[in-house]
Amino acid sequence: MAVTSAEIDSQLAAARPPLAKAALTLIRQQPLGAVSGLLVIVMILMAVFAQQIAPYDPIANHYEFMQLAPSAKFWLGTDQFGRDILSRIIWGARTALFIGFSCAFIGSFAGLVLGVTSAYFGGWFDLLFQRIMDVFLAFPLIIMGLAVVAIYGTGAQNVIIAITIPLIPRCARVVRSSALAIREIPYVDAARALGFGHMRIILRHMAPNCMAPFLIMLTTFLGQAILLEASLSYLGLGVQEPTPAWGLMLQGGAEEYAESAPWIAIFPGLAITLAVFAFNLFGDSLRDTLDPKLRSR
């Protein structure tokens, strides 16, 4: 009996995890994941409405208020140039999330397509592709990021490139493992029998069913990208002054003012810690919710 395209699409829809049900399960079974998701939402809102929320201009220097301790006027104190630390943290969330989301989404999407493509074709193509991925995986994230920045220079755009490149093979390797199993499902053979092209099968019939590992890697990469951006900025290789960025705030006050004005480094460090913790914990909770093997336990 012939299988139509509509029947294949219905099989795909049945195989995909219901997102609304997964969200309710996450809240009920993963309360820490729900709290981390709330933190993520707060950071996103803080970044989007930074102009309305921040009490002061984040790049305005007020030399008469240099290194003031936290008070009612400056809730988190001021830095060595008299800039309000709270305002710079709020605006720094926009920088961190913009770079983090850009790197995580581009890296995860590219890894999704490459991983599914590698699993779909198999054979010598898959073998060659995986060896190339092994070369990239041999370098730690920070080393690969430093190498790319050294070639292309500093700035937000180059930082996104530097962080995205090492994220791609990590997502591709994880997605490929799921795509190998999906390749053997009958609807893929049916799509081939109907004469569908390779790209249609990869993008429409295989990639959507790899959404669970894709979403997990996406949330995990967000935390890694934020941490890596802060590390590059701390080393002077990320975004440059006067752009508010958490890594730059640490660079300016982590060592020189550790004793005289510790709040200059403490609060940006806490912001980085909370952001990375929230995204990592949310990714772990999302994995536990979407993974059928873990749900059955």
State pLDDT tens for residues 11-28.
Answer: 544 544 455 565 666 667
Could you give all domains of the chain from N- to C-terminal order, each with its CATH number?
42-55+72-295 (1.10.3720.10)
Shortest CA distance to 207 belongs to which of 189, 182, 236?
A: 182
pLDDT class of 190 with cuts at 50, 70, 90: confident
Span 58-75, mean pLDDT?
Answer: 87
Report the SS3 class of residue 78.
strand
The answer to whether 21 touches 210, Cβ cutoff 8 Å, is no
Residue 90 confidence (pLDDT) above 90: yes
The answer to whether 145 touches 229, Cβ cutoff 8 Å, is no
State pLDDT tens for residues 134-162.
Answer: 888 888 888 888 888 888 877 788 888 88
User: HSE (CB half, 13 Å, CA atoms) of 231?
Assistant: 17
Give residue for tokens 């309000």. 84
Span 231-238, mean pLDDT?
Answer: 84
pLDDT class of 97 with cuts at 50, 70, 90: very high
Q: What is the DSSP string of 152-196?
A: H-SSHHHHHHHHHHHHHHHHHHHHHHHHHHHHTSHHHHHHHHTT-
How far, in Å, CA of 77 to CA of 72, rounded? 9
31 contacts: CB under 8 Å, gap ≥ 6: none
How far, in Å, CA of 107 to CA of 210, rounded? 15
Residue 216 confidence (pLDDT) above 50: yes
Span 292-297, mean pLDDT?
Answer: 51
So what's the pLDDT on residue 9? 52
